[in-house]
Amino acid sequence: MVRRNLFSVDTDEVGRLLAEANEALINQSRQLIEEFQRIPDKLMTENERAEALAFSKMLKGHLKECRSSRLSDAKSFREAVKTVQSFYEEFETPLKAAEHSVIQAITQAEVGRAKVKEGNLDAPAVYSDTGVRIATSASTNNPEIELTWSVSAVDRDQIDLEALRPFFTEYVLMQTAKKYLERHGPNNLVGAHFEQLAKV
């Protein structure tokens, strides 16, 4: 079946519209970045500290405005994506359930066939009257199906986390460390480095 793109989106036009609608936000962002260049790396005086604190509050407020605008501008796209996903889920969900059920049935049958085949490895061969070997009693015309392994469940209390260490992404480790910090504070977590930041 030829796949067609039903909803072609002109990304260049989207970018142009975003820039046009958020011109003030862009200009303010640039001004704040320029002002940031004037903030010293080390605050030596009370005046520098006060200016940095006021500037950090300006940044926080502006970032909040940026986030609000981003979420508002992306809302129609998110709703469209949800509509598409919902449409396909109506028939993909039962199809996936059917596929899983059929695969389980095939798997059970293949496991049974493998046991029978293993038990018949030494089965006597069948010969013709002339003494030519023509088959064994375990022969079959059914095609061979490869069995593969997949993860069906994990036990949080029993699973060997050390064995999984090489497969944890940096993102997963960072998120896990943040949860640890929330519960236990910056203590006794080998391999994690904590830093204090001013809460403004």
pTM score: 0.65
**HEC secondary structure over 73-100:** HHHHHHHHHHHHHHHHHHHHHHHHHHHH
| The pLDDT of residue 176 is above 90 | yes
Q: Where are the domains of the chain?
A: 11-184
Which pLDDT tens digit goes with each residue over 114-130?
787 777 655 555 555 55
Main-chain phi, psi angles of 133, to 5 degrees: -70, 125
Helices (H), 130-169: 161-164
How far from the centroid of its chain's Cα atoms is residue 33's Cα? 32
Q: Is 127 helix (H, G, I), strand (E, B) or coil?
A: strand
Which pLDDT tens digit goes with each residue over 71-107?
999 999 999 999 999 999 999 999 999 999 999 999 9
CA atoms of 107 and 114, how far apart (whole Å): 10
Provide the pairing of β-strand 125-127 with 133-136: antiparallel
Which pLDDT tens digit goes with each residue over 134-170?
455 444 456 678 888 889 899 999 999 999 999 999 9
